[in-house]
Amino acid sequence: MTIVSVMALACATGCDRADTSRRDSTAAPVTQPAPARDTTPAASVDAPRIVFLGDSLTAGLGIGKEQAVPALIQERLRREGYAYEVVNAGNSGDTSDGGLTRLDWSLSGKVAVLVVELGANDGLRGISPDRTRQNLESIVMAARQRGITVLLTGMEAPPNYGPAYTDQFRRTFRDVAAKEHVAFMPFFLEGVAGIPSLNQPDGVHPTPEGARIVAANVWRYLEPLLKKTES
């Protein structure tokens, strides 16, 4: 099944053009304060941080932070002997605009790696890919200027807005990664999107099992960056 058909199936389970907010229970403009930092104990208070800046897919909507991807990455780091503190800076409903607004807060402290998982809500709302690109570029550039290594994750738009939009949206992430010379994971939900058993009833947000698959995929792109960061 292609990525586009996967996202089409996901959209069919819980969203339409007239009411895309059903794919994210907080898709309205976010007014809540920035989420609290992940309280998973770190190996050391002085450990470098890996920050996941994202939306509900990072926050763990429907499963809780303890089962979300950042927490699973924290567990993997410990098993593999890496002394990093993982920060879950996911905020349900965020677009790339929201992520950019929260960037300074998210990059506070000793941040070594920034994982950028944003764009799903941009695609749901039909936000211009040019605007999404500008926001992602600003986020990546700001992190790199602080000496932070970046992993950018790609996202797919539902097919509601037509093939021209979905193609441009998909290219946005690849173009930003290429322009800014950062690591790139083509699709955050690879192997999970569109598979009912790996998603909650909304058809979009992963179950705990789905989150474990996403975390394993993220690890393949993240782990090489940790070796570079530690050297």
Active site residues: 56, 202, 205
The answer to whether the CB of 136 falls within 8 A of the CB of 172 is yes
Separation between Cα atoms, residue 145 and residue 152, nearest integer Å:
16
Q: Which conformational region is residue 222 in: left (phi greater than 0), alpha (psi within -120 to 50 degrees), or beta?
A: alpha
Separation between Cα atoms, residue 120 and residue 125, nearest integer Å:
9
Token pair recorded at residue 7: 């996202």
- Pairing of β 49-54 and β 85-90: parallel
In degrees and rounded to multiples of 5, residue 121 shows phi and psi of: -75, -25
What lies within 8 Å, CB to CB, of 21 at 6+ separation is 15, 27, 28, 124
- DSSP-based three-state secondary structure for 95: coil
- Reference 160, options 193, 190, 123; nearest CA is 123
Token pair recorded at residue 11: 């959209």
Separation between Cα atoms, residue 1 and residue 192, nearest integer Å:
12
Token pair recorded at residue 187: 């699709």
In degrees and rounded to multiples of 5, residue 51 shows phi and psi of: -105, 130
